[in-house]
Each structure stands twice: as C-alpha cells, then as structure tokens.
C-alpha cells in the first residue's frame, strides 16, 4: 500500500521540477485520493518499475478521477479570475496581498508567488495527464474496453491541452513535456535529468500540441454527458475555437477554424442558453448547491460536493464581509453595465454590501462596497469553467471577421436578448467588432476571460491605458513585454536551459 500511495503522489505532483510538492500537498489535503489497496488494483507490491502499470480498470478510472480533481487547485478556483479580471479593467486586486496587487498594477516580477505557483499547478496537471496517456493504452484488463481506453486518453489529452493553453498564454514559450517523468535515482540520472530540466519550446510548437490533443479529444471523448463534470467532444470543440482565436492573434487568426469548431457546439441540440441569466448562478433554496447545476448552458463545471471530495472554497475568496476579498469589481465595469442599460447582468454579477467599520477603500464607499456575485454557494456550489454563451459570442466574432455581418448579429442578439437588451446596432465590421468585445465583457464578467480577450485582440494596452479610473495610472507600465508573465525565478535557478522573457 505504501508503494501505491507513493506512486500516485508522484503521478499527481511530479512536475518539471520538484517545486510542485508544496502545492500538491495542499491539493491532496483538500481532495484525498480513494484509499485503495495494491491487491484490489492487481498491482504487485514488490514491482520495481517506476511507473504504476495500468493493469486494472479500477486503477485507470481512479487515476483519471485524480486528474479531474486538479480542477480544484488555486489556479481554477482563484488565480484564473485574478489573471482574467483583476489584471484587466474588470476588477481591482481587492485584498491587499502584495503578489496580487503586483498583477493588478502590472508590476509583477519573477519572484511573484502567483507566477511561481501557477507554473507548478499547470505542470502538475500535465504530469498526471501524461501518465494516463502513456499507460492506459497498455492496460490488459479485459473489463476495460478499447472504446473506454480511448475515452480516458481523450479526457486526459483535453486536460493536458488546457494546461498548456494556460501556460502558453501566461508565459509564452514553455517546455513541452509529453511523457511521464520517472522518479530520479542514481541509476537513471542521465536519462531522467534532461526530462526534469528541458528547454523552452516555441509557442507555435506548443499550440501544435494543444491542437493535436484537442483533436484527439473531439474524436474519442463522449458525444455528450448530462454530468457536466465530464469532458466531451463538444467541450473539446469549444476550447479548440478559443485556441484558434488565440493562435496567431491578432493578425494571423484562422477565423474559418474558429467558426467551424464553435458552430459544432452552437448547433448541438443538447445545449442552449438558460432562459434567465441569473439562472446560472442562483443558489438552491436549501443552499445545497446551485439551483441549476449541470444545466443545458454549461459545457463543463467542477462538481463541488463537500470538503472531503471537491469543495468550492472559491466562494470565500470573492464573497463575504469578514475580510476584504479578492477581485473587487471596478468603477469601469460598473460604468460599462450602466452605460449599456444592462441591469439584469449587473444585478447577477455584482452584489453591494455595507462594510462600514471593517475596512476602507480608495475607490469605493464602505456603505456600498461591491463583491463578485457569480459565486454564491460555499463548499457545494459548482464552478462553471466553460459555457455556451462564450462559444456563441466567439462564433459571432468569427463570422464578423469573415465579413458575414448578419450571421454575426444573429448570434450576438441571442445573448443580448436574454439580457433584456435590443438587437445589435452596428453597421460596419469595425463597429460590430467592438460591440462583440463589449458583449463578451458584460456577459462573461468575473469568469476569467477579459484579460485573455484583450491580449488576443491586440487591444490590452490601448484599453487599459484609456481606462476611466485609477487602473489607467498603473497601465503606464503595460508594454508588449508585459502582456505575458516572467518565467518563475525558482525555475530559472534550477534549470540553466530556461531563458527569461524580455522585460523582466
């Protein structure tokens, strides 16, 4: 049993460097792995192979479940939103933690804690996926069908692709590791050392691998699942649309590919917009979770049930008056909602509360302090990571860029009409481009999209420097070099092949 637990820990936590151990220990505390025995899984406890042999259906499914649990790390419950919203014009850092303030104010450096831990989280997620992809096809258990093997590998391929998509957008060129890294020993030092300390690969190579993995997922994952914490073909197509909208952006985007992959999702009869925007976030009457978990609009959501399995602690980071929370909505996003007459989405996205006597703020009055309102249930509230509205708007963007303005408007008005807003009014491609940009901002506010949208469209510097409030004063530091983060200093210190990004 000790061998089994050790190997599973290595599987989850062996990233490119050993820095992931601290973060993964915290992760395992929050999401313990099922207590299974070697005998139950058919593993020889005396086996001296470095990698666990996937010779039972139970082990293959257990390791896949552990890979899914990587969606509860700080990246997906906190940092995704700090990056996407506090780094943009949607939010201020809120809670005055130095490493978060640096991100908000474009003064981040290579020693920033978020920069370090997000690199580690992504490579830990990749490591778990690599082991599944490498070993599940060799599973000899007759109860594990070839179809299920391909589904498992497809789901792991999606997880690896998403982790690399996060990495390449955050850091640019990154090491590309596609095989399980054995535990380092005196006997295999020469073999393993280059795997532990690889050089960075060009972003184009990383994108090529991301696309390859997602294409595998579009062929081999399930066609559909009512349980939205299952990776499916439509989900893979939705992310492929995002990837193609980002690869080569802003000047060399393959908009035909964006439209192709997005349309597969938007035309799927299993998915549709919820009737009311607030339906996505409303809490069940007994606070046992969200009222409409696994709804028809959700493409993928982290299934939060309890602290013993996966719990939603993201709620505590963004909601409540016991301490100043992360990601305080900005005056600029409030103005954007008000200027658009977007009452429904504003009320579903921002909650104002009285924090008099608890803390002061340079922007907001204590009597009406805003909080993100898209996380409403502690512990048991599911977290939607991808939903149909985003894909509809991305398809609208593609149609517009392909000079198909009327199809773009028809897609855009689906989202606008649900928000109680009128049909699009743009008459030119350039006007409609900005209208779609604004719609993505208001529809997807506080869901981690805004910063990456601004970067891929080439608008980040202009938008941030012309922001209507205090954020414009910080944006004077924002240059082309600062559109991506530095390579963590801890990684540079241990790997001589890594080269720091320009400007850091």
Q: By three-state DSSP, how is residue 339 classified?
A: helix
State how far the Cα of 22 lies from the Cα of 154, in Å rounded to an integer: 29
Residue 287 has what pLDDT?
84
Residue 10 has what pLDDT?
38
State how far the Cα of 58 lies from the Cα of 141, in Å rounded to an integer: 9
For 247-293, the pLDDT digits (tens) are: 999 999 999 999 999 999 999 999 999 999 999 999 999 989 999 99
| Half-sphere CA count of 168, side-chain side, radius 13 A | 25
> Per-residue pLDDT averaged across 394-414, rounded?
98
pTM of the model: 0.91
Checking if the pLDDT of 1 tops 80, the result is no
Q: List the beta strands (DSSP E) in 256-406.
A: 298-302, 326-329, 350-353, 369-372, 383-387
> Per-residue pLDDT averaged across 76-83, rounded?
98
State how far the Cα of 180 lies from the Cα of 14, in Å rounded to an integer: 9
Tokens of 229: 């914490």
DSSP 8-state code for residue 282: P
The mean predicted confidence, pLDDT, of the chain is: 90
Q: What angle do CA 60, 65, 68 make, to 5 degrees?
A: 130
Residue 219 has what pLDDT?
98
> Per-residue pLDDT averaged across 228-240, rounded?
99
Tokens of 392: 């509809």
| Half-sphere CA count of 389, side-chain side, radius 13 A | 27
> Per-residue pLDDT averaged across 339-360, rounded?
98
Instruction: Decide which of 127 and 18 is more confident.
Output: 127
Residue 53 has what pLDDT?
56
Checking if the pLDDT of 307 tops 70, the result is yes
Residue 22 has what pLDDT?
30
Under the banding of pLDDT at 50, 70 and 90, the label for residue 193 is confident
Residue 43 has what pLDDT?
44
In this structure, of 55-59, 98-102, 229-233, the range with the lowest mean pLDDT score is 55-59
Checking if the pLDDT of 9 tops 80, the result is no
Instruction: Decide which of 47 and 181 is more confident.
Output: 181
Checking if the pLDDT of 34 tops 60, the result is no
Under the banding of pLDDT at 50, 70 and 90, the label for residue 194 is confident
For 214-232, the pLDDT digits (tens) are: 999 999 999 999 999 999 9
SS3 content of the chain, % helix, strand, coil (to 5): 55, 5, 40
Checking if the pLDDT of 14 tops 80, the result is no
Say if CB 268 and CB 234 are below 8 A apart. Answer: yes
* For the chain, percent of residues with pLDDT exceeding 70: 89
Residue 73 has what pLDDT?
96
Instruction: Decide which of 193 and 223 is more confident.
Output: 223
Tokens of 177: 């590791």
Tokens of 145: 């069908």
**Among 212, 205, 217, CA closest to 158:** 217
């Amino acid at each position: 049993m000790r061998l089994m637990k050790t190997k599973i820990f290595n599987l989850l936590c062996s990233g490119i460097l050993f820095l992931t151990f601290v973060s993964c220990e915290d992760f395992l505390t929050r999401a313990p792995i099922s207590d299974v025995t070697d005998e139950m899984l058919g593993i020889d406890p005396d086996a001296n192979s470095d990698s666990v042999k996937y010779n039972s259906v139970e082990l293959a499914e257990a390791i896949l479940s552990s890979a899914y649990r990587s969606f509860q790390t700080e990246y997906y419950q906190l940092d995704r939103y700090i990056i996407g919203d506090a780094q943009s014009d949607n939010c201020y850092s809120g809670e005055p933690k130095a490493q978060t303030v640096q991100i908000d104010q474009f003064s981040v450096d290579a020693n920033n804690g978020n920069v370090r831990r997000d690199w580690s989280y992504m490579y830990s997620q990749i490591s778990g996926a690599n082991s599944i992809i490498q070993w599940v096809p060799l599973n000899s258990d007759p109860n594990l069908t070839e179809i299920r093997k391909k589904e498992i590998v497809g789901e792991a391929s999606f997880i690896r692709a998403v982790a690399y998509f996060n990495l390449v957008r955050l850091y640019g060129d990154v090491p590309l590791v596609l095989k399980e890294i054995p535990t380092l020993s005196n006997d295999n030092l020469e073999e393993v050392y280059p795997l532990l300390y690889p050089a960075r690969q060009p972003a184009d190579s990383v994108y090529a691998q991301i696309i390859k993995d997602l294409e595998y997922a579009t062929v081999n994952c399930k066609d559909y699942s009512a349980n939205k914490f299952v990776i499916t073909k439509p989900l893979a197509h939705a992310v492929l649309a995002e990837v193609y909208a980002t690869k080569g952006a802003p000047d060399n985007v393959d908009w035909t590919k964006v439209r192709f992959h997005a349309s597969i999702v938007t035309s799927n009869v299993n998915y549709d917009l919820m009737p009311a925007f607030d339906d996505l976030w409303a809490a069940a009457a007994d606070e046992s979770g969200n009222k409409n978990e696994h709804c028809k609009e959700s493409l993928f959501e982290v299934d939060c049930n309890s602290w013993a399995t996966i719990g939603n602690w993201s709620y505590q980071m963004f909601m409540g008056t016991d301490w100043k929370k992360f990601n305080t909505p900005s005056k600029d996003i409030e103005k954007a909602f008000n200027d658009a007459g977007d009452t429904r989405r504003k009320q579903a996205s921002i909650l104002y509360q009285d924090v008099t006597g608890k803390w002061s703020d340079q922007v907001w009055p204590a009597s009406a302090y805003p909080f993100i309102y898209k996380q409403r249930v502690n512990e048991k509230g599911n977290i939607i990571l991808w939903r149909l509205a985003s894909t509809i708007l991305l398809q609208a963007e593609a149609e517009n860029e392909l000079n198909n303005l009327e199809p773009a408007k028809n897609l855009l008005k689906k989202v606008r009409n649900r928000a109680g807003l009128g049909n699009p009014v743009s008459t030119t491609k350039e006007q409609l481009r900005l209208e779609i940009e604004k719609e993505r901002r208001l529809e997807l506010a506080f869901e981690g999209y805004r910063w990456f949208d601004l970067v891929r469209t080439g608008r980040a510097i202009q938008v941030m420097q012309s922001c209507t409030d205090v954020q414009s004063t910080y944006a004077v530091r924002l240059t082309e070099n600062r559109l991506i983060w530095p390579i963590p200093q801890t990684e540079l210190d241990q790997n001589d092949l890594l080269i720091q990004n320009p400007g850091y």
